[in-house]
Amino acid sequence: MEAQPISSETAAAGIQRRGVTPSRALTWRKTASGHALYQRDRGKPLATVEPDAQHVGMWRIRMPDGWVSDMANLARAKDAAIRSVLFVLNRKETARNRPPVARTGQGVAEPREAVE
Q: How far apart are alpha carbons 68 and 9 in whole angstroms?
A: 13
Confidence band of 71 (pLDDT split at 50, 70, 90): very high
Q: Given this model, what pLDDT does residue 56 score?
A: 96
Q: Which of 30, 29, 26, 48 is nearest to 39 (CA)?
A: 26
> In the chain, what percentage of residues exceed pLDDT 90?
54
- pLDDT for position 82: 97
Taking phi first (over 0 means left), then psi (-120 to 50 degrees means alpha), and beta for anything else, what does residue 64 get? alpha
